[in-house]
Structure 1
């Protein structure tokens, strides 16, 4: 773990001390190197946890998410380059330092072997994200978006802290390998129900569950491109990962607790897909699609069968790469037209034909067509839900149909149609942008060849 953590921390002095003309090259190359080294975590292990120490434990659930976090750091730096072109060197350094500062906390959160350490790093990711949104966002509404993010996360995570302390009081340990061995007591008291609810609430807000999702579209729309990628690809996954980790600690007698969550998550997947169909703002559309996909993840993690957890894991990785790529594409449009309104940025295919190919590929993966890992994930989740209750097929089927509809709507609106009259000149797509899209697309193409790597099942 330290051979990833120490180089990540060394990115901070590199950011401060790099000469200005080599700043982007140095930070991108160094973080790509870290991403390459992190691929060692894919190596199968026959033990329950790889690299088990007093503070970290990496198993089959956390290793794909850790690799995804390392992989996305260089991509976030690459995507922000054009956005910061006009800023003075000192501000560029602060921006890169802020992105880098989130990374150690995310790595700690995904690999913590102790519940309190997990809670602290889970909360600590909030501060750099808040700085990114409120300082480098585009519109004046970024302050209200930051306040929404802060209050939703803090209000939901205070009960989690109390529940963790209550758990420690009962069991005498918060060490994950020990918690797996200590079976929850079967007493159905109000305190056990309340602590189970408190354990889940913080992760439901982070995931986000429909009804607790109002902070997400605001934060996504106002954030700079690196902030959107960070939120969509990594911070939402903390919610899903937290639910997978915590459901093992919840009282087995309170399974009735899961029914409202599963129903709400599936209803949310359906509703947010319908909301996407009438969005006029491109980033807002992609943000709502994240709520829809994470609804399926929440529903699957609450069922707690091996199939469902496996489907949720694959969907989290697939969604991390897909939504991050869609935000990058939306950003390339925004940088050229300075508008996120779909009507004002339509008909770009004849002008940027290569970008249109990336748009097509990203939208096809979002729709989950074969042979993408998104399809495998959605099929696994739908089968697991159908096994649990046959009625769920109505909601999941409708949600998948609506997903295809709004994805095609997004593709048609951005690429086809007559070019708006106010667009007279357009800057060409750069090699940097094509490399950025390729680095999102290649892992998605390769992972379908061996999905076992990211399925959360011991190899």
Structure 2
């Protein structure tokens, strides 16, 4: 892990020492080099085996795919931002690139940390750079409100986690993950107290994902964020919650987890269904994609809360697949926004007539989002649905309807943006450039590789 963290630390300083004309040609290859090095941390498929050990960091089959996803999205987000940032001052460009690398560094430390105190610090470090991205480079005047929503929702949700970690340290005098036996440390406490401890841990992660009911900050943040902010937020930052939930369950399993799994799974599958229905009524393309992320994360959380191996494995697979697909969908939405200056679905339509090659990318992305065979989304959803139905047969119609409506709004996006009549009042649409085709292919190439070999993202 040191071979990845150290270059990332150096990369945060590179923009301030690069000449203006060499800024992007230097930072994008550097981030791509970090992505290449990250591929070497793929661990053998041995459950809970720590590898790449150092004093405070290590990787296993849970953290490795998320670290690789974080490193993979960094150069792609920079590539997607060149067009919008090239007209800004060099100071703004340097600050933007530095924030991207700071977020990447915090994510690497979060996913590889062996100390819960370091995990919490890195977990919270992602807030301020993301807040700055939304507030400074957002498209509309509501960006300040969206950034404040994002900051205070996640801060308020993380406070109980800090209390829980402080309580854990007072009992065990250690926050090192391999040395804590939480069942022993909290065995003398009553069931209500251990359940309260458990809920404190879960609150921070469910707000970060977020599941339905804790999601109010997410659509605003997505709609107002710049393209790089939307990509990183959807692809990686939402996965911090899923990672925290899985890590809490697999390493710190409590008997009280069974007591709260019933209401939590019920909330998650109902939230997935309600969010899928909400997506059908959205008029803003980015808001629709943002709400679809809430639905997918609710399904991921239901798989985790089922407390089964299939559910947790399906959650990890769906998190990785959703990270790539949602980022690609935001890129596609941004390409259309750059050409017609609106995200309204009634105007953003009929692009098949003017950008026919873009229709191919929309088709691949939307069918992957709805889980068409043989995409990894299908594998993750099948594992989660199987575990949920095995957990409680009565959940079958709810989870099935959520999946059906998920397919409906994915096809709705595809149909509205491509098949509807093109607006007659829009003219001078620029073609799709090679760099934009490269941007989309870099999102979908890993999906193709995972179709043939899904072992790197399975527990």
TM-score, normalisation: structure 2: 0.97
Q: CA RMSD in A?
A: 1.4
Q: CA deviation at 1:450?
A: 1.3
Which residues in structure 2 correspond to 1:255-334 (within 5 Å)? 255-334=258-337
* Contact 1:196 1:250 (8 Å CA) reproduced: no
Change (3 A) 1:195 1:253: closer
How far apart, CA to CA, are the structure 2 residues paired with 1:57 and 1:227?
A: 27
Aligned to 1:245: 247
Size of the aligned set, in residue pairs, is 456
Q: CA deviation at 1:186?
A: 6.9
How far apart, CA to CA, are the structure 1 residues paired with 2:189 and 2:86?
A: 60
Which of these residues, 390, 400, 403, is aligned with residue 393 of structure 2? Answer: 390
How far apart, CA to CA, are the structure 1 residues paired with 2:221 and 2:38?
A: 29
Which residues in structure 2 correspond to 1:212-251 (within 5 Å)? 212-247=214-249, 248-251=251-254
Aligned to 1:141: 142
Which of these residues, 353, 357, 360, is aligned with residue 357 of structure 1? Answer: 360
Q: CA deviation at 1:207?
A: 0.9
Q: Could you give the per-residue CA deviations for residues 280-330 of structure 1, whole angstroms, max 9, x where no partner exists?
A: 000000000000000011111112211111100000000000000000000
Name the SS for the 2:424 alignment partner. coil
Q: Could you give the per-residue CA deviations for residues 351-398 of structure 1, whole angstroms, max 9, x where no partner exists?
A: 111111101110010011011000000001111111111122211110
Aligned to 2:5: 5
How far apart, CA to CA, are the structure 2 residues paired with 1:190 and 1:45?
A: 37
How far apart, CA to CA, are the structure 1 residues paired with 2:197 and 2:52?
A: 31
Name the SS for the 2:241 alignment partner. helix
1:404 aligns with 2:393: no
Q: Which runs of 5+ in 2 are unaligned?
A: none
Q: Could you give the per-residue CA deviations for residues 209-230 of structure 1, whole angstroms, max 9, x where no partner exists?
A: 1111000000000000000011
Name the SS for the 2:55 alignment partner. coil
How far apart, CA to CA, are the structure 2 residues paired with 1:12 and 1:211?
A: 36
Change (3 A) 1:133 1:391: same
1:185 aligns with 2:187: yes
Q: CA deviation at 1:43?
A: 4.2
* Contact 2:41 2:52 (8 Å CA) reproduced: no
Change (3 A) 1:189 1:181: closer
How far apart, CA to CA, are the structure 1 residues paired with 2:177 and 2:278?
A: 39
Aligned to 2:203: 201
Name the SS for the 2:393 alignment partner. coil
Name the SS for the 1:278 alignment partner. coil
How far apart, CA to CA, are the structure 2 residues paired with 1:375 and 1:295?
A: 16
Name the SS for the 2:283 alignment partner. coil
Change (3 A) 1:20 1:278: same
Which residues in structure 2 correspond to 1:53-132 (within 5 Å)? 53-132=54-133
* Contact 1:157 1:201 (8 Å CA) reproduced: yes
Q: Which runs of 5+ in 1 are unaligned?
A: none
1:19 aligns with 2:15: no
1:39 aligns with 2:44: no
Shift >6 Å, 4+ stretches: none
* Contact 2:350 2:417 (8 Å CA) reproduced: yes
Q: CA deviation at 1:181?
A: 7.5
Name the SS for the 1:56 alignment partner. coil
Q: Could you give the per-residue CA deviations for residues 124-148 of structure 1, whole angstroms, max 9, x where no partner exists?
A: 1001000000000011111111111
TM-score, normalisation: structure 1: 0.97
How far apart, CA to CA, are the structure 2 residues paired with 1:253 and 1:150?
A: 30
* Contact 1:186 1:251 (8 Å CA) reproduced: no
How far apart, CA to CA, are the structure 1 residues paired with 2:88 and 2:164?
A: 45
How far apart, CA to CA, are the structure 2 residues paired with 1:111 and 1:45?
A: 17
Name the SS for the 1:27 alignment partner. helix
Q: CA deviation at 1:116?
A: 1.0
How far apart, CA to CA, are the structure 2 residues paired with 1:12 and 1:192?
A: 41
How far apart, CA to CA, are the structure 2 residues paired with 1:86 and 1:120?
A: 35
How far apart, CA to CA, are the structure 2 residues paired with 1:340 and 1:7?
A: 37
